Each structure stands twice: as structure tokens, then as C-alpha cells.
Amino acid sequence: DTEVTQTPKHLVMGMTNKKSLKCEQHMGHRAMYWYKQKAKKPPELMFVYSYEKLSINESVPSRFSPECPNSSLLNLHLHALQPEDSALYLCASSQVPGPTYLNTEAFFGQGTRLTVV
């Protein structure tokens, strides 16, 4: 199973709403990532979790709050978003790079297309 599953696939939310994006993998990967991708742009790294601990936060606004409840799950909690936050949100997972794992190929989920109205 080389799948990363993201739910929901599409989400429309108002600026006062609270919602969550979910990501799940069962490949035993201990690194999980959130990316944001605007139309016709490359993905931008938001957060990295390594062994369920937040290891990289790319100065993302606090209205985005990540959570890694266990080694298979990654959530992104959304609150008081702005219309400019509308984008494709991609989750990915990989082995944690190190002496044990040289091949750290990242597998991406299908993404959640978020529209903030």
C-alpha cells in the first residue's frame, strides 16, 4: 500500500468557520508534510513532522494549526482563514532521512482543494 489518503477532496468554508483537513498513510513512514499549492505555482512547504513531532514550521500563520496524533495520521486545523488561503493543500509522507533509509521518496496524497469565501 503506497497510498496517502486525504479527506475531504474539496472544502468550501467561510472566513469564520473552523474545519480540519485529514491525511492518513499506512506505509510506516515517520515523516509527514503539509504543502500549499496555488494555481500554476509550485508546492510550498508548510510543516514537517518527524516521529510525530513538529520539526519544521515555515512561518505559517497561526490560523493554520497542524497536529500529528499518531504515526499514521496528520491533521491540519483551519480557523479564520482568508480568501487568499484558497489553494490545493497536499499531504505527503516519507521515511525519515538518515543512515537507515537512503531512499526517502515522498508519496503525495491527492490533495484537498480549499475555497475560502
Partner 1 sequence: ELKVEQNPLFLSMQEGKNYTIYCNYSTTSDRLYWYRQDPGKSLESLFVLLSNGAVKQEGRLMASLDTKARLSTLHITAAVHDLSATYFCAVVLPAGKSTFGDGTTLTVKP
- Which residue, 15 or 105, has its beta carbon nearer to partner 1? 105
What CA–CA distances, in Å, run from 9 to 12, 86, 93, 114?
10, 13, 18, 8
30 is written with which cell numbers? Answer: 515517520
* Smallest distance from partner 1 to CB 55, Å: 6
**Residue 31, phi then psi, degrees to nearest 5:** -120, 130
Closer to partner 1 at the Cβ: 3 or 82? Answer: 3
Please report how close the Cβ of residue 42 comes to partner 1 at its closest, in angstroms: 4
Q: Write out the H or E segment, with its range, that includes residue 102.
A: none
Cβ-based nearer residue to partner 1, 14 or 97: 97
- Distance CA(114)–CA(10), nearest Å, equals 6
Q: Give the nearest distance from C-beta 27 to partner 1 in angstroms.
A: 13
Name the site residues for partner 1 (rule: CB under 8 A): 31, 41-45, 48, 50, 55-56, 58, 90, 92, 97, 102-111
CA 64 to the chain's CA centroid = 10
CB of 16 to partner 1, least distance (A): 29
